[in-house]
Structure formats: C-alpha cells, structure tokens
Copies of this chain bind each other. A is one copy, B any other.
Amino acid sequence: MNKRNIHISLNEAKSSAGSLKGLDIQVGKIKGEFWDEKEGPTPFPDHIDLRNWDRTLLARYKPLYLPFCDLCCLCTYGKCDLSGGKRGACGIGMEAQQSRIVLLAACIGAATHTSHGRHLVTHLIGKYGRRTPINVGGSNVDVEAPVIRLVCGIKPKTLSDLETVLDYLESQLTELLATAHTGQESDPIDFESKVFHAGMLDHVALELADMAQISVFDFPKADPDAELVKLGLGTIDSKKPVILVIGHNVPPAVDIIRYSQKHDLSDKIEVTGICCTAIDLTRQDPHAKIVGPISWQLRYIRSGVPDVIVVDEQCVRADLLIEAGNVSAPLIATSSKNCAGLVDRTLDNPDDIISDLVSGKVPGVLILDPDKVGEIAVRTAVLVKETRRTKKVSFIPTDQELIELAKRCGGCMECTRACPNETPIPEAMKSAALGNFVSLAEIYDSCIGCGRCEDVCNKDIPIHNTLVAAARKKVISEQFFVRAGRGAIQDIEIREVGGPIVLGEIPGVVAFVGCANFPKGVSEVAEMAREFAKRRYICVASGCSAMAIGMYKNEDGQTPYEEYHGRFEAGGIVNVGSCVSNAHISGAAIKIASIFAKRNLRGNYEEIADYVYNRVGAVGVAWGAMSQKAAAIASGFWRLGIPVIVGPHGAKYRRMLMGRKDNEEDWYVYDTRTGEKVYVGPVPEHLFITAETKEEAMVLIAKLCMRPNDTSRGRSMKLTHYIDLYKRLYGIMPDDIHLYIRSSADIPITMKEEILPIITEKGQSDQIIPDPTLLTSQIRKRNGAK
C-alpha cells in the first residue's frame, strides 16, 4: 500500500511554527533518481502482487501438514476439533488452520526482525544522524542492498532511507497478521502464499538491520579474512570480572566494550556473549569471547562465571532473572521487548543503580540507554566480582556431589520423557552413582540445555548441572575459533563464482543457518559443513550454526574456520554473521542474477526468483531451527526458490513443502527461447523437508543443489557428489538417478559403468537442456511460439 507514497523524514519539529530544522527531502535518493536501472513491475509489493509466483511454486511443492494436536484453540468459539475432516466453529478446516499457524509463526518472526531493525535504525540515527551513509563493503560492494533493491525497488544510501523500508515492512506485516484473525483467509494455499510474503519481508528486514549496524560500527565490511575469535567456555578467564551479554541487539554490548576501552579496563575484564549479540559483538571487537549458542545459557550461568548478565532481546531465556539470582549475578535488561518486570532505571543516577545492584538490593534493573548500560555493566562487574567471591555462585557439583546426586535417582524415566531429545538420563545416573560419568558426559553433547528434565525430577536432581559436571573436562576444553562475521559478499566474489554456480560447476552453495535445537549435538553441523567444504561446495553459515561449526577440531586441532578459508568460493566456510546476516545469503543469490547475469533487480522480484530457482544451486540447512524467526527466514528462502532442509525437530514447524519426483507432469519448465514446455526432472525436488538423520540431510543437500540450468558438466559433478554420498551413507545406489540424467553427457565419467545399466533399464531418452523458466512472461516468443 505504501507503493505510491514516499515518506520524507524531518528532524525535530516539536515546537510549532518556524522550527522545521533538518528537513531533508530525499525523494531522489529513495526512488532512485541517481539509479538508472529500469523499475520492475513490483516495487514495494503487496502479497497479492506475487501471489501467482507463489502459487506456481506451491503447485509443485505441496504442503504436508503435521498438526501438533487435533485442535484449534485460537478463539473463544473453540477449542474446535478439526480432526477427521471436521471444521471449526468458524468454518476453517485443518489444512487452513495449520497453514495459519505457520503464517502466525512467520509473522512473529518477521516482526521480530523488523522491530529489531526499527530499533537499531532509530537508535543509530539518534546517535549518528540520519544522513549516515550506508556502507557494507566500500568499493567492494556496489550492489549494497540486493534484497531491498529487489523487493522495494529503491537503492538506500543513508540510514534514513531505511525508514521508508521499515514503514513498508510494518504495514505489510500488519496486513499479514490480520489475515490470521478468525474468519479471514480460508484457503491453505493462500495462507502459504502469505507465509512466503512474510518470509520475503523478513529478508528485507534482515538486510536492513545488518546494513545499519555494519555501516555504523567497526564490523568487518564484506571481509573474507575477518579475524578469528575465541569461542567456548574454556576460553574465558574467570579470574577477571566477567560480563555476559545475551540476545540479538548489539548496541549495549558495543557500549560495554567502549566504556571499558575508554577507562582502560579492556584487559581487566572479560566480555563474553551467547547467541547473536555475541556474534555481533565479536564483529566489533574480536577480543570479546563467544560462549556458545542459545543452549549454553543455563550451563554458563550456573557455572558461576559471569558476574553480570546483560540481556537484550530475542532468544533469551525467560527465567534469566531467576537463574541470575541463584548465582548472585545482577541482571541488566536493556530492551523494552523484555522488561522482565524490572524497574526502569534509565534516568537514574548510575551510582545509585550500581550500588543497588552490587548490594543485591535489587536483583536487576531495566536500562534502555545503551551508553548507560555500558557504564553500569562494567562498573558493576568490577564491584560485584568481589562480593561474589564470598558467595556460592557455582552450581556445578563436584565429583563426589555428583555421585551423591546420582544415587538419588529412582529411575522413574520422567526426565527422559520430558527431554526434547529423549536422552537416556536414568541409565546414565545409574552408572554415575557408581562413579562412572561417561554416559552422563555423552548426554551433555546432545543436551540443548532446556532444563525441562529438572522440572519433572521428583528427586530434585539438578540434572542439567550433573551433565555439565560429568562433562567437566570436555567443558573446560571448549576452546575453539570462529571467524568473525564478515557481512556481505563482495561483488567481485560474485562475479567470479556466478558462472560456475549457474552452470553447476560449483556444485552448490550450502547455507548452515538457524538455532541450536540440535537433535544430536552441535557436532553434526560441523561435520556437514566440513564434508561439503571438502567437496568444494561454498559453505555459508550464520548465527548459532556458525558457532556450532566452530565447535569442532580435526586431528590437527584445527577448527573448520582454520581448516577452510572464508572466501565466497569453492571450498570456503563463510561466516556471514548473526541471524540478521542471513540476508547476505539470499543477497548473494540475488546478486548472481544481477552481477553475473545482468538482470535488473529493481522491483523485479518474480523474474529474479525464477532465475535463482532455476539456476542457483543453493540449499539452506537449518539443522537446529527452533524459533519463529527461523520460520520466517526459511520462508524468505522458499519464495526465492531456495530449498531448506531442517533437522528432525524441524518437523514441529508442522508443514513441509515437498515435490513428487514420481509425478512427471510436475517437472516441466518453459524454454525461454522457444516457449516450449520441457521436462527437466525433479530439480530441486523439495522446497522444505525434514531430514531424520544427518546422513539423510547430506544426501538431500547434494540432491537439492541440482537445477534445470545445470550444464552437463555441472550436472555430472553434482551427480557425482549425490551418488557418492548416497552410496557411502546409505550403502546402496540411489534408485532415482535416471531422473537427473538428461542425456549421457550428464553421467559422471567415473561412474559410467555403474550408471549406464540403470539408465538403459529405466529407458532414459535424450532431453534438451532448456533456458529454464516457470514464467510465461520470460518467454522470448521467437518464431511465433507462444
């Protein structure tokens, strides 16, 4: 709806006449006066503008719904039982209801990123001015905002241009959320289309947020050689006062660093972080330390190491105030999104606040000014360190205590039944009671630190703590490296890999993204990333997954970030940054269309998505995706035609989008040159799928990287990886190879002997490789062909 309106911002007009200082009409800049690219059909699109594209994709990739329960409980007509084809009191059926739940999740996710972006931009404008230029990579990055260009049709130059984008996002999200109201949308596929829209908006929000912070802070700017930063519980010097920052909004953490630098305390305190704030903090200051992903919260706090806990927004445990209180660590909440019931002390005298915190008079405070957080966190940490020496602050039991605790266990199995990963705690307790901690320590590896087991133990065993205790040696040795988040991909990198990717000669781009709801421990992600880097795919990572990859060492003691380079080219493992940096991944795909293929981006979503879908062999892997944000991020990839694989817990997103390789009619594309419909095989076969095991995921990755546009050389390389992985991991030949071999030129040479008989049996005839598209608008209509 914002499409035809331009919002012009104005600095301060509080008093009435005469005070219009700072009026800044940026029409040209926003709508591209200095941008000669032709505007495409859908700048600032509504959902409906891209509905046809969505329905095209959704006709191939049909939703499979996996309801959490039989009911809908969204309104007071309910609960309604929707099982067995029944409809709710509002007339909705189960499929539409499930897709509505997916939409709600995607809206919550996109709202979270958008609101975060709004918060960041407003804060940074307040501090640095609205004319602060966007700079994500200097001269190395000309296409600085591929997603925004594509979706909004504008070329943002300053922070203030981003406000226009925010207005659009907020307006659209409000509309999407409205459709989730009882008695609105009724069709599941239309709900799914709205999910896609939310996802697309989410990537705009991601790009916007990361652009803003990269531009203003000292983050690596599209730097393939960003520094290595320390990661792991074992890297922290707990003798110093230790500050822990948790969340996603980095300004308070940055101000902690700045305060300590200004007061020469950098060497005297440790600043440590969990989750994306940690990642972004190390982009600012590589000396800060990353503790670990979201699931490290309980174990780290209970170790007693952090002296002050600073929490901002997103992915923060809702019981931090309790946990922090248990270890006498003051909590500083810094976001209005999580006020945590604390008194807002933003305007109070720092001395008073600090004295209240240090004395324990209050368990925590709410401070909404990052600068002030910087001062208070540092000064409090220094003081509180002393008082905490005299208190019990670690709740990790000693070996002897552990044995005593384990002896209490009655083997009731309630903990296993409450554990998301069904860990075999009772058995492990049995051995631990006898002094053998091996099994308990093994559970530590697959424990996501949720604490549910403890709540159900009627013997009051602090189970999570016992795991940490049992794994003590391992925990202390958690000393890893991760490459600081580099941000965007440089134009030149894209130029170099664009051809090989589009032709299929770089077998694929694999993005490891999302949270740490890992079924079997973080190591699986590292394993996958290494496998594909070794195979010379381009591996990209962000957020908790980027950390997970770092939490691994090879025989030489190297982490994957030491073993592999950080360039966006074959064989790299590229940490783009925090969750908001995911936009650089979709952005890279979009930039291929722009920089390599010279397609117009401006407001030209459908064409570019069609390009990416048919040509760019990229796959997202969200092995531990947990949150609504992850749902939104995945949705953004789908609309762009990029498949996403999730781990087993990802089934709880309640809806898959899967193709059917057995339905030949589903896999035709147009040849843009002739307009003819050409069978291209099931590539990529799925848009969203849960893999049961990492082995299944690896085979899926290789398979889903295939695209209709692959040259024979490219396809044969991709097939080589697919078949090789399948054989190694499944122990047999895949039974669908013939679907991917369009002509004998596609057959991997080294596998000819194995494959030829299969092809002969299945009777494969030669197919042309078209210039593929799903859009009739892309057909060049030569020779009178439609």
Interface residues of A (CB under 8 A from B): 1, 4-14, 16-17, 20, 27-28, 31-33, 39, 46-48, 51, 68-69, 73-81, 85-93, 96, 104-105, 107-109, 111-112, 114-116, 118-119, 122, 163, 166-167, 169-171, 173-175, 177-190, 193, 294, 313-321, 323, 336-342, 344, 368, 418, 420, 448, 450-452, 455-456, 517, 625-629, 649-650, 652-653
Closest to A311 in B: B186
A751 to chain B minimum Cβ distance, whole angstroms, is 38
Closest to A630 in B: B76
Complex Cα gap A418–B88 (Å): 10
* Residue in A1, A85, A109, A368 whose Cβ sees the most chain B Cβ within 10 Å: A1
Using Cβ atoms and an 8 Å threshold, which residues of chain B touch A650?
A: 76
Using Cβ atoms and an 8 Å threshold, which residues of chain B touch A450?
A: 77, 88-90
A4 to chain B minimum Cβ distance, whole angstroms, is 6
- Could you tell me if A339 and B190 are in contact, using CB atoms closer than 8 angstroms? yes
A265 to chain B minimum Cβ distance, whole angstroms, is 30
A-B contacts, 17 of them at CB < 8 A, read: A7-B8, A69-B73, A74-B105, A78-B652, A89-B452, A91-B318, A104-B104, A108-B181, A111-B175, A111-B178, A116-B178, A175-B337, A182-B315, A183-B317, A184-B338, A186-B317, A187-B341
Complex Cα gap A198–B33 (Å): 38
- Could you tell me if B418 and A181 are in contact, using CB atoms closer than 8 angstroms? no
Using Cβ atoms and an 8 Å threshold, which residues of chain B touch A11?
A: 4
- Could you tell me if B653 and A338 are in contact, using CB atoms closer than 8 angstroms? no
- Residue of B88, B89, B90, B177 near A107 (CB, 8 A) is B177
- Residue of B89, B115, B185 near A448 (CB, 8 A) is B89
- Residue of B7, B321, B368 near A186 (CB, 8 A) is B321
Closest to A188 in B: B341
Using Cβ atoms and an 8 Å threshold, which residues of chain B touch A628?
A: 74-75, 181-182
Closest to A73 in B: B68
Please name the 8 residue pairs, one residue from A and one from B, whose CB atoms are nearest each other, closest first.
Answer: A187-B341, A89-B450, A91-B317, A91-B319, A186-B318, A76-B652, A115-B178, A170-B170
A191 to chain B minimum Cβ distance, whole angstroms, is 9
Complex Cα gap A188–B33 (Å): 49
Known: A7-B8, A112-B177. 16 other contacts (CB 8 A): A1-B122, A6-B13, A68-B73, A76-B626, A76-B652, A89-B448, A91-B451, A93-B319, A111-B178, A118-B175, A178-B313, A181-B629, A183-B627, A185-B338, A186-B316, A186-B341
**Known A318-B96, A336-B47: A455·B87 in contact at CB below 8 Å:** yes
Using Cβ atoms and an 8 Å threshold, which residues of chain B touch A76?
A: 517, 625-627, 649-650, 652-653
Using Cβ atoms and an 8 Å threshold, which residues of chain B touch A183?
A: 294, 314-318, 627
Using Cβ atoms and an 8 Å threshold, which residues of chain B touch A46?
A: 336
- Residue of B8, B68, B77, B653 near A420 (CB, 8 A) is B77
Complex Cα gap A178–B335 (Å): 12
- Could you tell me if B75 and A627 are in contact, using CB atoms closer than 8 angstroms? yes
Complex Cα gap A186–B189 (Å): 34
Complex Cα gap A78–B628 (Å): 12
A92 to chain B minimum Cβ distance, whole angstroms, is 4
Using Cβ atoms and an 8 Å threshold, which residues of chain B touch A7?
A: 7-9, 167
- Could you tell me if A185 and B337 are in contact, using CB atoms closer than 8 angstroms? yes
Using Cβ atoms and an 8 Å threshold, which residues of chain B touch A114?
A: 174, 178
- Could you tell me if A5 and B10 are in contact, using CB atoms closer than 8 angstroms? yes
Using Cβ atoms and an 8 Å threshold, which residues of chain B touch A177?
A: 107-108, 111-112, 115, 173, 177
A46 to chain B minimum Cβ distance, whole angstroms, is 7
- Could you tell me if A626 and B9 are in contact, using CB atoms closer than 8 angstroms? no
- Could you tell me if B90 and A317 are in contact, using CB atoms closer than 8 angstroms? yes
Copies in the complex: 2
Using Cβ atoms and an 8 Å threshold, which residues of chain B touch A39?
A: 14
Closest to A298 in B: B91
- Could you tell me if A318 and B93 are in contact, using CB atoms closer than 8 angstroms? yes
- Could you tell me if A166 and B175 are in contact, using CB atoms closer than 8 angstroms? no
- Could you tell me if A626 and B4 are in contact, using CB atoms closer than 8 angstroms? no
- Residue of B12, B90, B92 near A4 (CB, 8 A) is B12
Complex Cα gap A12–B175 (Å): 23
A362 to chain B minimum Cβ distance, whole angstroms, is 14
Complex Cα gap A342–B649 (Å): 34
- Could you tell me if A340 and B190 are in contact, using CB atoms closer than 8 angstroms? yes
Closest to A80 in B: B452
Complex Cα gap A119–B32 (Å): 26
A445 to chain B minimum Cβ distance, whole angstroms, is 17
Using Cβ atoms and an 8 Å threshold, which residues of chain B touch A88?
A: 318, 450, 452
Complex Cα gap A611–B93 (Å): 46
Complex Cα gap A17–B174 (Å): 32
Using Cβ atoms and an 8 Å threshold, which residues of chain B touch A9?
A: 5-7
- Could you tell me if B33 and A28 are in contact, using CB atoms closer than 8 angstroms? no
- Could you tell me if A626 and B182 are in contact, using CB atoms closer than 8 angstroms? yes
Complex Cα gap A772–B188 (Å): 53
Using Cβ atoms and an 8 Å threshold, which residues of chain B touch A68?
A: 73, 79
- Residue of B73, B87, B107 near A451 (CB, 8 A) is B87
Using Cβ atoms and an 8 Å threshold, which residues of chain B touch A28?
A: 16-17
Complex Cα gap A96–B339 (Å): 12
**Known A174-B174, A316-B183: A5·B339 in contact at CB below 8 Å:** no
- Could you tell me if B337 and A184 are in contact, using CB atoms closer than 8 angstroms? yes
- Could you tell me if A184 and B79 are in contact, using CB atoms closer than 8 angstroms? no
- Could you tell me if B1 and A13 are in contact, using CB atoms closer than 8 angstroms? no
- Could you tell me if A320 and B187 are in contact, using CB atoms closer than 8 angstroms? no
Complex Cα gap A338–B91 (Å): 13
- Could you tell me if A4 and B8 are in contact, using CB atoms closer than 8 angstroms? no
Complex Cα gap A87–B179 (Å): 31
Using Cβ atoms and an 8 Å threshold, which residues of chain B touch A368?
A: 48
Using Cβ atoms and an 8 Å threshold, which residues of chain B touch A181?
A: 108-109, 111-112, 314, 627-629
- Could you tell me if B179 and A337 are in contact, using CB atoms closer than 8 angstroms? yes
**Known A13-B31, A183-B315: A118·B337 in contact at CB below 8 Å:** no
Complex Cα gap A623–B102 (Å): 31
Complex Cα gap A418–B78 (Å): 10
Complex Cα gap A91–B420 (Å): 14
- Residue of B31, B109, B118, B186 near A338 (CB, 8 A) is B186
* Residue in A74, A77, A112, A455 whose Cβ sees the most chain B Cβ within 10 Å: A77
A235 to chain B minimum Cβ distance, whole angstroms, is 24
Using Cβ atoms and an 8 Å threshold, which residues of chain B touch A321?
A: 186
- Residue of B5, B10, B91, B517 near A27 (CB, 8 A) is B10
Using Cβ atoms and an 8 Å threshold, which residues of chain B touch A179?
A: 337-338
Using Cβ atoms and an 8 Å threshold, which residues of chain B touch A6?
A: 9-10, 13
Complex Cα gap A12–B92 (Å): 40
Using Cβ atoms and an 8 Å threshold, which residues of chain B touch A317?
A: 90-91, 183, 186
Using Cβ atoms and an 8 Å threshold, which residues of chain B touch A5?
A: 9-10, 163
Using Cβ atoms and an 8 Å threshold, which residues of chain B touch A47?
A: 336
Complex Cα gap A316–B112 (Å): 29
Complex Cα gap A93–B629 (Å): 21
- Could you tell me if A81 and B418 are in contact, using CB atoms closer than 8 angstroms? yes
Complex Cα gap A93–B167 (Å): 34
- Residue of B81, B109, B170, B186 near A340 (CB, 8 A) is B186
Closest to A123 in B: B1
